[in-house]
């Protein structure tokens, strides 16, 4: 009898959705097999090259190449790259083509309603910045990821900055705006709800329709108008409900937010510091408004 993993990753819709998201991204695999300490083995390279997925058939090839370890969870970087041929390609910021701004929402699965509330707070904050069409949400394991489609940002928004700088600034700006409300929800609902900015050079997120590494749940996508209807059964491997229109976006929709966020937040902090160079967000916004009015 085939395992849950074999049954799941043999589905055409699963392979198709993973391949769509994975295009031009660096892939990581959590294997079924565990190491001596009981942790799932993580693989990011095969034959000395970064793992990539360009088509549904590549997932079948992954199973063949990893048949002694098995495939449990498939991840892809938030970054998209110009090329992914050598190890050096994933180390170079100049090789980054695009970067998907992502808010990481961590919580206990039993408090899924609180997680949905956090998603809605982020989405409302993005709407206040003129962004509605380029947002999608992935439910992953115990929490969720709110994604802003990377193509909602044009080259105009970069203005000499790298895609990762712009993504970091956007995520941090919105995170700080919603932080008071997130804390209120956590206290009121008595849960461990957190919204984090995990943007870094090699950050990976679960691919749509991948299985979670530990729990038998599927990573499903939703558009904002579906959040109010979410049910835990949507992530069940046997009954999952997934919106394949997650990749809809409006080109340039996030350009104005990018300009504001970069002006207020700046880019990705150096690794050793990773400390905010600004004080309170309200004060930073007021300074930005004064500068804008003087121009």
- Containing H/E element for 205? strand 204-206
Domain ranges, residue 104: 4-294
The number of helices, as runs of H, and strands, as runs of E, in the chain is 8, 13
Task: Tally the domains of the chain.
Answer: 1
The two tokens of residue 11 are 């589905």
Kindly state the DSSP code that residue 11 receives in the 8-state scheme: -
- Signed CA dihedral, 232, 187, 147, 178: sign only: positive
Kind of pairing between the strands at 135-140 and 220-222: antiparallel
Separation between Cα atoms, residue 257 and residue 275, nearest integer Å: 22
Contact 59, 53 (CB under 8 A): yes
- Kindly tell me if the per-residue pLDDT of 38 is higher than 70: yes
Confidence of residue 290 (pLDDT cuts 50, 70, 90): low
> Of 294, 291, 264, 269, which is closest to residue 279 (Cα–Cα)?
264
DSSP 145-167: EEEE-GGGS-HHHHTT--HHHHH
Residue 104, token pair as written in the block: 């990481």
Which among 116, 95, 81 is positioned nearest to 195, based on CA atoms?
Answer: 116
Query: Which run of H or of E encompasses 17?
Result: helix 12-22
For residue range 238-270, list pLDDT tens digits in order.
999 999 999 999 999 999 999 999 999 999 998
Dist. CA 184–CA 195, nearest whole Å: 12
Structure tokens at 131: 């962004």
67, pLDDT greater than 60: yes
In angstroms, rounded to a whole number, what is the distance separating the alpha carbons of residues 145 and 295?
Answer: 37
Report whether pLDDT(66) > 80. yes
CATH number for position 29: 3.90.920.10
pTM of the model: 0.91
Mean pLDDT of 189-216: 97
Inter-residue contact 168 to 197 (CB < 8 Å): yes
Residue pLDDT, tens place only, 119-169: 999 999 999 999 999 999 999 999 999 999 999 999 988 888 999 999 999
At 160 the pLDDT is 84
């Amino acid at each position: 009898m085939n395992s849950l993993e074999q049954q799941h990753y043999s589905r055409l819709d699963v392979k198709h959705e993973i391949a769509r998201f994975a295009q031009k991204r660096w892939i990581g695999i959590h294997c079924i097999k565990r190491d001596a300490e009981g942790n799932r083995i993580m693989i990011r390279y095969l034959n000395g090259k970064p793992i990539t997925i360009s088509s549904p058939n590549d997932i079948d090839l992954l199973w063949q190449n990893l048949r002694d370890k098995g495939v449990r969870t498939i991840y892809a970087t938030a970054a998209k790259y110009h090329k992914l041929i050598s190890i050096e390609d994933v180390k170079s910021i100049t090789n980054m083509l695009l970067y998907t701004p992502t808010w990481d929402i961590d919580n206990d699965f039993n408090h899924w309603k609180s997680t949905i509330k956090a998603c809605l707070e982020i989405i409302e904050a993005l709407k206040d910045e003129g962004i509605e069409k380029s947002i999608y949400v992935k439910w992953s394991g115990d929490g969720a990821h709110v994604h802003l489609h990377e193509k909602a940002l044009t080259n105009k928004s970069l203005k000499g900055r790298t895609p990762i700088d712009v993504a970091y600034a956007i995520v941090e700006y919105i995170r700080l705006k919603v932080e008071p409300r997130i804390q209120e929800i956590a206290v009121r609902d008595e849960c461990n709800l957190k919204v984090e900015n995990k943007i870094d050079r090699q950050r990976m997120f679960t691919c749509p329709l991948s299985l979670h590494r530990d729990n038998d749940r599927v990573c499903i996508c939703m558009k904002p108008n579906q959040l109010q209807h979410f049910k835990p059964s949507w992530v069940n491997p046997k009954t999952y409900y997934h919106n394949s229109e997650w990749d809809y976006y409006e080109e340039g929709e996030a350009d104005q937010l990018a300009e504001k966020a970069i002006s207020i937040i700046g880019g990705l902090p150096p690794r050793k510091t990773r400390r905010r160079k600004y004080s309170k967000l309200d004060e930073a916004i007021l300074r930005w408004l004064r500068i804008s009015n003087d121009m």
